[in-house]
Amino acid sequence: MRLIIFIFVLLTLQNVCSQTLTVTSPGNILSLKFELKEGGAYYSIYRFGNEIIKPSRLGFILKTSPNFDDGFSIKNSKTNSFDETWTQPWGEVKDIRNNYNEIFIELEKYSSPIRLMNLVFRVYDCGIGYRYEIPEQAALSDFEIMDELSEFNLSGNHSAWWIGAYQWNRYEYLYKNTPLQKLDTVHTPLTMETKDGIFLSIHEAALTDYPSMTLKRTGGNNLKADLVPWSDGVRVKTSTPMKTPWRTIQIADTPGDLITDYLILNLNEPNKLDDVSWIKPGKYVGIWWEMHLGKATWGSGERHGATTENAKKYIDFAAKYDLDGVLIEGWNIGWDGDWGANGDIFNFTKPYPDFDINEVTLYAKEKRVKIIGHHETGGGILNYEKQLPAALDYYTELGINVIKTGYVNHGQNIKRVDEKGETVKEWHHGQYMVRHYRKVVEEAAKRKIMLDVHEPIKPTGIRRTYPNMMTREGARGQEFDAWDPNGGNPPEHTLILPFTRLLGGPMDFTPGIFNLTFNNEKPGNRVNTTLAKQLAHYIIIYSPLHMAADLPENYEANLKPFKFIIDVPTDWQETVVLNASIGNYLTIARKDRNSEDWFLGSATDEHGRTFNVPLNFLTAGKKYLAEIYKDGEDADWQTNPYSIEIVEEEVTGSSILKIRLAPGGGMAVKFKLVD
């Protein structure tokens, strides 16, 4: 017994005194090394022994010293292994395995006064997450962080897909693909491919009461966290005890493996809502696209879109084709004039005179259609928060439990009143707005309201903790095709999003445009896809709330392809990526959570492609009727985008699906179990 105690004490002392600690993933694929070098904290990552992340610094610079930057010693460390499978109330898969090895490191900085900082590393086979914890300690209560020192010192000048940070239009830009060393400061997720064909994505998880992290290249292949600041230059205003978001690094053999990697979700806390039976995925139409086309207006007047009569028209359409909801934008006072610059003019409980909200909601209830409410704030956070409880209660009393919110304004134009009583302007993605977005989620959850947030903070997996946070925008959506002066989204755009923006979480892209050229409404613009590719978007772009974005009359003129939109679910049991190349092509199959049916989407960029795809994801020994919506033989996104062919054939799990994609084209398939 004494010998056992002696060995235990000896091992503990060795662990505490060691300046290097390692932890390996459950499958022995990834390993993380933590080390102190001259009192500074560093980590590095290896995959099968090959260095992926070179020694990268950790720590903070505070407004009042001493800082958390050097002079550290390891006070203690402990390891832990974890393995569970948890079930999503909705999602791209039903069950997710959360399996990692963890090391918790207590650091002590000998200074006056002594400072304590903890680090937590979780190592998965598919990636790594780490976070800082600042525990309660003497002489440190409220404090301000001026800089987070977290580095990502990459092993090479990788090929990177990125959008720039600190721009006026937030996240709504086309992605660029350049060598890593062409970057300046970029948003996350930042996705990269190494020369050896390994795929990486750097992001963050569980962003809570902390600014958004951008990445700044500081030289060579080194990236450093660059936290979006407050107007006074402070990055974080906080107090002990505190925990940062997780810094995440996904690592995969193929780009498709990034899509089916649920590291971000696993690093978030479990569901905090006791009852989630009211949270329902679905599809909706809305008074929206006609405004983008210029046929109607958000503001009042002769062409006002959100009238009682027009709302009933959309409700009738949704009821006729068994769609779940109708979004109504522009119904409330505040849209007249330059509403994007005057967010304080919106009233969230007062409709325009030509919109009888009581009549409309009663009519929708009779038709068994949900009304999706709308709160455009124009970035007027003070005005919105002042009205928020009453605005949410107003919808609750009307029986509306889904809201689309909006924050149209420039990137650094969010007004608030500071501690001195002065009006200052904050970034969309700083700590002030992170707090606001979470407040809205929590207040909505109290009232059993689901959210679809536009101009949002980027998704970091909080949908696991608050499943009422359904979907959000946070990238260039389909509306750019209606009015972008540069011609809209190029064919490759929706083949980059699944490997970048969508790694953070679902996106309300608003697919399903059937009138692709709209020469009468917007002769200088068009949708840069074929009709079949619009259908494929319902599979390759994941959202639990998907919009059928076009006008009802355009669907009724094309009922055969519209049937796929009617049939396609938005809640899945399983997701399988069948082929993938970032910006070039993607094929995904998903199994409906509520039936035995599977659905497949395949899409390409401006180049036509052919694939032979095994259907071995289908249940062996069973027969399926494949309803195939494919590009016609003469289809081309530029010259003949409307050419579509709809065929049926019987298939099994041993069948091979021949996919032919026209330039800018796609294919959508429903596999219905028949035997």
Residues marked active site are found at 479
Q: Which of 58, 37, 35 lies closest to 46 in space, CA to CA?
A: 35
Give, to the nearest 10 degrees, the angle between helix 308-320 and helix 357-366: 10
Q: Describe the crossing of helices 381-398 and 431-446 by its angle, rounded to 10 degrees.
A: 10
Nearest to 382 by CA among 331, 433, 449, 445: 433
Q: Which residues contact 523 (CB under 8 A, 6 or more apart)?
A: none
**Secondary structure, 3-state, 72-114:** EEEEEEEEEEEEEEEECCCCCCCEEEEEEEEEEEEEEECCCCC
Give phi and psi for 286, each to the nearest 5: -170, 160
Specify the 3-state DSSP secondary structure of 25: coil
- Cα–Cα nearest to 568, from 446, 640, 668: 668
How wide is the angle at C-alpha 634 spanned by C-alphas 631 and 635, nearest 5°?
Answer: 40
CA distance linking residue 665 with residue 646, whole number of Å: 14
DSSP string for 48-70: TTEEEEEEEEE-EEESSSSPBSS
Q: Are strands 30-37 and 656-661 parallel, antiparallel or unpaired?
A: unpaired
What phi-psi label fits residue 354: left (phi over 0), alpha (psi between -120 and 50 degrees) or beta?
alpha
Strands 282-287, 545-547: pairing kind:
parallel
Residue 507 token pair: 């996106």
Q: What sections of 112-229 are H helices per DSSP?
A: none
Please, which residues bridge with residue 128 across strands?
123, 249
The residues, ordered by sequence, that sit 6+ positions from 557 with a Cβ below 8 Å of its Cβ are 514
Burial (CB count within 10 angstroms: exposed 0-12, middle 13-18, buried 19+), residue 443: middle
Instruction: List the beta bridge partners of residue 238.
Output: 143
DSSP E strand boundaries for 461-567: 469-472, 545-547
Strand order of the sheet with strand 469-472?
469-472, 450-453, 402-406, 370-376, 325-328, 282-287, 545-547
Q: How many residues does the chain have?
A: 675
Question: Strand 450-453 relative to strand 469-472: parallel, antiparallel, unpaired?
Answer: parallel
